[in-house]
Structure 1
Amino acid sequence: MTTTVGDATEAAPAPAPAAPPALAARARDVGASPVREILALTARPEVISFAGGLPAPELFDAQGIRAAYARVLAEQPRTALQYSTTDGDPALRAAVAGRLTRRGLATGAGDLLVTGGSQQGLALLATVLLEPGDVVLVENPTYLAALQCFGFAGARVVPVPTDEDGVLPDALEELVRRERPKLLYLIPDFQNPTGRTLPERRRRAVAEVAGRHGLWIAEDDPYGELRFEGGHLPWISSYAAAADRTVLLGSFSKMMAPGMRLGWLRAPAGLLRACVIAKQAADLHTSTVDQAAAARYLADNDLDAHLDRVRTAYRSRRDALLAGLPAALPAGSTWNRPDGGMFVWVRLPEDRDATALLPTAVAHDVAYVPGAPFYAADPDRAALRMSFTTHTPEEIAEGLRRLAAAFGGAR
């Protein structure tokens, strides 16, 4: 439409464009990871960070991994660079199955799905198991990204009462009876964020609760190979009561390199097939060349010898952190002593708020992760998580000196 005034012709103003449709409610309601945001905040090289759950990069077997990629690309470039099956590289699945079997969990390659880290395995489980409103039980506190994953699925997350050894079986049974959950999510070994380990008798009790009441268990095990003390405990998946309803999630991130983004999911046949279909919709398959290189690495190298070196280094770093905490923390603070993994769980005195204190710590070029975001309910403001893996004992000692200054003096 035009308007004529004398000899001039003017175009009518175009209507304002309509706003695009809103984001899905789940995208609006699930917040970003505070841990990831803290990592960005503390990226300055002068910061000694106890925040990230990062493997020590100097301990990566870069030479062995480089050789594995080189051999794969030299010997099988046409297949290594091509599309692949969703289930995963047969040689890699066979290698994982062999490791699980040798540790007491009889597994075949056909029982496994290769995933983009164990995190994708958890997302696939949420996709195929959870309807909006379904109840998921979790430890309190628990892995933050699991809370995000269940939030995106629209699940109602209910915390199970815990103590220093993990979930309380009697409390779990009571919650199962009352809430009728579809899924229980656990990290039995060196839990993130607390570093605690679920004792064998409780693992058996959890399996029996699942068997009696008919719920799925997601058993997340990214840290189990990082044991410094004691013997390996049986997976919940190994108990007959839960064998047909437990999904074991594993990862090469802590054993080989997190940048390869390789994990696996072990599940009963029907659920495994559903996860394969969900993965087809998500990404078709995990990187072919990364899987082939991992399989080649496992065939050509002694992963257990490499892990021995990693565990030795991490044990000394844990010990350095524990030795320095009494002088670094305020009087009345408490902490645990994990038998492995990557984390120590600290609790400051009741009048201290770990979140409120973090900016002061960062100003002193040291960082940690406040514990509150890890809780599904009733967060403990005095709690915080400290990772000991990324820095040498000398750097840990310096970081603790800075933390003591930030907290206002040693105890």
Structure 2
Amino acid sequence: MSALPYAARATGLVGSVIDSSTSLLHKQTHDIVRFAMGSPAAEAVPADILSAIAGEQLSRPDAYDYAATEGDPPLHAALLEMLRGTSDETTADRLTVTAGGMQGLDLFCKIFVDPGDLVVVESPTYTNGSATALSYGAELLEVPVDDDGMIVDNLPKLLDGRRPKAIYTIPTFQNPSGATLSLARRNQLLELARTWGSMVIDDDPYGLLRFAGDPLPTLRELGAGDPLVFSVRTFSKIVAPGLRVGWVDADPELQQVLINAKQAMDTCTNLPAQRLLAGFLTGGHLEDHLVRQRAEYRRRKEAMHAALTEHFGDIARWTDPEGGFFLWVTLENGINTEELFEMALPEGVAFIPGPAFSPTGRFSNAFRLCFASTAPDRIWEGVTRLRRAADKLAPN
């Protein structure tokens, strides 16, 4: 037994199977089609534009200084302008720049979650988010997801009289299922949260990446400034994950609390990255970039659907997202997807098994595929390799 004097909270620190896959894949020496990480393709990152902006913005000595904790004023102003007229339009006193969406989730839990508090999460869910709640001592309750997102009707029965401190949802193109919370359920969720006095963590990294269907109002808009709605956003999926810049939109009462909490974390978000993004936004590059990405992600999703229909139509079903990065595959032939991962990696394809998206390890017959990061010809090759691996595990 270790003699190190760990804090009690250390036992609640659970690693990320999703993030660990990056290190695992870097160690492989053979060709791998990578459906695992939820990141834009390298060619989707506007590197040339960012490099040109860097030549102008990052040649100034003040670009390497500390920034205002709530966000560098040029980015703060550019963000407000970017959101003007959208479902997420906001005001300066509600906006705090963060080091990616994950810091927004951590700030929420640091401010609101006490040990033993009940936090509702979707099932399956983005377990980096649920792990953040666990790290602050939360108790988690998993609520099933279907094609219309979290099954909100199930909440009162599952809670059995308890009142959750928070409800964590990824309402649009959910990670990992790709499902979108319907308008009726969005309104129902807000009504229940108000009844219980529960915070709603509105984590929406993918909402700007809709390539089909009709847009829905965000929980931010439907909440109309409700202090119970805490909205988390990021540039990681729409521009570049390595910049590690996002923002939270929250009741103005919270801004100073967020500043205090963030100053005990990192003082301020990386200033050079903020300057790059401010230049990207004020230069008018975002909308054209998003138009290109939406069209390409639609093409890639359709390619993945076609490949799955060809190779897995007899043994699986899968979701049909209208945007975002992911679809969710459920096998119907009894194969354990953690075992399938071990078989698939030598075949040259990687994905994330279903249990990685449940705090209690559910979904052993399911897995997540990211279509956004892979070109259509490689998608076809990867799904072909995946079926080859599945056939080696198929029951006789």
TM-score range, shorter chain: over 0.9
Q: Which residue of 1 aligns with 2:175?
A: 192
| Residue 56 in structure 1 maps to residue 73 in structure 2 | no
Task: Tell me how far 1:230 sits from its aligned partner.
Answer: 1.8
Moved more, 107-116 or 259-268: 107-116
Distance in 1 between the 2:223 and 2:390 partners? 49
Give 4+ residue runs of structure 1 displaced > 3 Å after superposition: 173-177
Is the CA contact 1:195–1:341 (under 8 Å) kept in the aligned structure 2?
Answer: yes
Q: Which residue of 2 aligns with 1:334?
A: 317
Post-superposition CA distance 1:222-263 (Å, at most 9, x none): 111111102321111222477221011111111111111000
Opposite residue 38 of structure 1, the aligned amino acid is: S
Q: Which residue of 1 aligns with 2:52?
A: 67
Opposite residue 47 of structure 1, the aligned amino acid is: I
Spell out the pairing of 1:220-369 with structure 2 (5 A cutoff).
Answer: 220-240=203-223, 243-329=226-312, 331-349=314-332, 351-369=334-352
Is the CA contact 1:330–1:349 (under 8 Å) kept in the aligned structure 2?
Answer: no
Distance in 2 between the 1:301 and 1:188 partners? 28
Unaligned ranges ≥5, structure 2: none
Distance in 1 between the 2:58 and 2:25 partners? 37
Opposite residue 297 of structure 1, the aligned amino acid is: F
Task: Tell me how far 1:330 sits from its aligned partner.
Answer: 7.0
Report the identity percentage: 36
Secondary structure of the corresponding residue to residue 213 of structure 2: coil
Distance in 1 between the 2:32 and 2:298 partners? 22
Post-superposition CA distance 1:332-385 (Å, at most 9, x none): 311111001000100001511101111111111111110112113460210100
Opposite residue 250 of structure 1, the aligned amino acid is: R
Q: Which residue of 2 aligns with 1:397?
A: 380
Is the CA contact 1:330–1:410 (under 8 Å) kept in the aligned structure 2?
Answer: no
Spell out the pairing of 1:81-100 with structure 2 (5 A cutoff).
Answer: 81-100=64-83
Q: Which residue of 1 aligns with 2:185?
A: 202
Task: Tell me how far 1:166 sits from its aligned partner.
Answer: 1.5
Moved more, 88-97 or 379-388: 88-97
Is the CA contact 2:348–2:385 (under 8 Å) kept in the aligned structure 1?
Answer: yes
Which one has the largest radius of gyration?
A: 1
Distance in 2 between the 1:254 and 1:368 partners? 18
Moved more, 161-170 or 136-145: 161-170
Tell me the number of residue pairs that the alignment of Structure 1 and Structure 2 aligns.
391
Is the CA contact 2:71–2:97 (under 8 Å) kept in the aligned structure 1?
Answer: yes
Q: Give the structure-2-normalised TM-score.
A: 0.94
Task: Tell me how far 1:97 sits from its aligned partner.
Answer: 2.1
Distance in 2 between the 1:161 and 1:254 partners? 25
Q: Which residue of 2 aligns with 1:15?
A: none
Distance in 1 between the 2:302 and 2:393 partners? 19
Moved more, 396-405 or 330-339: 330-339
Distance in 2 between the 1:240 and 1:191 partners? 19
Task: Tell me how far 1:27 sits from its aligned partner.
Answer: 2.4
Q: Which residue of 2 aligns with 1:386?
A: 369
Opposite residue 163 of structure 1, the aligned amino acid is: D
| Residue 151 in structure 1 maps to residue 111 in structure 2 | no
Is the CA contact 1:139–1:167 (under 8 Å) kept in the aligned structure 2?
Answer: yes
Secondary structure of the corresponding residue to residue 364 of structure 2: coil
Moved more, 387-396 or 265-274: 265-274
Distance in 2 between the 1:227 and 1:387 partners? 15
Distance in 1 between the 2:355 and 2:293 partners? 30
Unaligned ranges ≥5, structure 1: 1-18
Post-superposition CA distance 1:169-192 (Å, at most 9, x none): 222244456221111110001101
Is the CA contact 2:152–2:189 (under 8 Å) kept in the aligned structure 1?
Answer: yes
Is the CA contact 2:340–2:393 (under 8 Å) kept in the aligned structure 1?
Answer: no
Secondary structure of the corresponding residue to residue 283 of structure 1: coil
Is the CA contact 1:26–1:152 (under 8 Å) kept in the aligned structure 2?
Answer: yes
Spell out the pairing of 1:165-184 with structure 2 (5 A cutoff).
Answer: 165-175=148-158, 178-184=161-167
Secondary structure of the corresponding residue to residue 119 of structure 2: strand
Among residues 32, 51, 60, which one is paired with 1:47 in the alignment? 32
Distance in 1 between the 2:3 and 2:360 partners? 34
Task: Tell me how far 1:286 sits from its aligned partner.
Answer: 0.5
Cα distance change of structure 1 residues 37 and 240 upon mapping to structure 2, 3 Å threshold = closer
Opposite residue 46 of structure 2, the aligned amino acid is: D
Q: Which residue of 2 aligns with 1:374?
A: 357
Among residues 86, 95, 111, which one is paired with 2:94 in the alignment? 111
Opposite residue 306 of structure 2, the aligned amino acid is: A
Cα distance change of structure 1 residues 177 and 266 upon mapping to structure 2, 3 Å threshold = farther
Q: Which residue of 2 aligns with 1:140?
A: 123
Task: Tell me how far 1:106 sits from its aligned partner.
Answer: 3.5
Distance in 2 between the 1:291 and 1:67 partners? 15
Post-superposition CA distance 1:265-294 (Å, at most 9, x none): 000022232121100000000011211221
Secondary structure of the corresponding residue to residue 202 of structure 2: strand
Opposite residue 86 of structure 1, the aligned amino acid is: T
Is the CA contact 1:161–1:172 (under 8 Å) kept in the aligned structure 2?
Answer: no
Secondary structure of the corresponding residue to residue 218 of structure 1: strand
Opposite residue 159 of structure 1, the aligned amino acid is: E
Moved more, 229-238 or 29-38: 29-38
Task: Tell me how far 1:403 sits from its aligned partner.
Answer: 1.1
Secondary structure of the corresponding residue to residue 265 of structure 2: helix
